Amino acid sequence: MRTELTYAATLPANTSTAVLIPGREQLPVELFSADELDYINRQLELKSTLVTLNKLTHQLYLVLTEPKKKETLTQEALRKAGNALLQRLAADKVEHVVLLDGADGEAALYVAEGLVLSNYAFTGYKTEKNTPPCLNTVTITGVGVTQTQVNELANLLDAVYHTRDLVNTPPNMQTAVMLSEQIAEMLEGTGVKVEVLDEVQIQSLKMGGLLSVNQASDQAPTFNILEWKPENATNAQPVILVGKGVVYDTGGLSIKPTPNSMDYMKSDMSGAAAVAGTLYALAKNNVPLHVIGLIPATDNLISGKGFAPGDVITMHSGHSVEVLNTDAEGRLILADALHFAKRYNPALVIDIATLTGAAARAIGREGICMMGTADDLLKTDLKLAGEMAHERLVEFPLWDEYQEHLKSDIADLKNIGGAEAGAISAGKFLEFFTNYPWIHLDIAGTAYLLSPDSYRGKHATGSSVRLLYHFLTSQATA
Q: Which of 80, 88, 193, 256 is catalytic?
A: 256
Confidence of residue 31 (pLDDT cuts 50, 70, 90): confident
221-274: per-residue pLDDT in tens?
Answer: 999 999 999 999 999 999 999 999 999 999 999 999 876 788 999 999 999 999
Task: Give the model's pLDDT for residue 1.
Answer: 65
229 is catalytic: no
Domain boundaries, given as residue ranges, for the chain: 4-144, 156-476
Topology annotation, domain 4-144: Leucine Aminopeptidase, subunit E; domain 1 (3.40.220)
Query: Which residues make beta-bridge pairs with 194?
Result: 226
Task: Give the model's pLDDT for residue 146.
Answer: 95
Q: Which of 79, 164, 331, 428 is catalytic?
A: 331
Work out the mean pLDDT of the chain and round it to a whole number.
95
Give the range among 83-87, 192-196, 260-264, 327-331 with minimum mean pLDDT.
260-264
More confident residue, 27 or 155: 155
331 is catalytic: yes
Task: Give the model's pLDDT for residue 27.
Answer: 82
Query: Which residues make beta-bridge pairs with 378?
Result: none
Task: Give the model's pLDDT for residue 260.
Answer: 77
Average pLDDT for 185-204: 98
Judged against a pLDDT cut of 90, whether residue 72 lies above it is answered with yes
Task: Give the model's pLDDT for residue 280.
Answer: 98
For 156-476, give the CATH class: alpha beta
Confidence of residue 300 (pLDDT cuts 50, 70, 90): very high
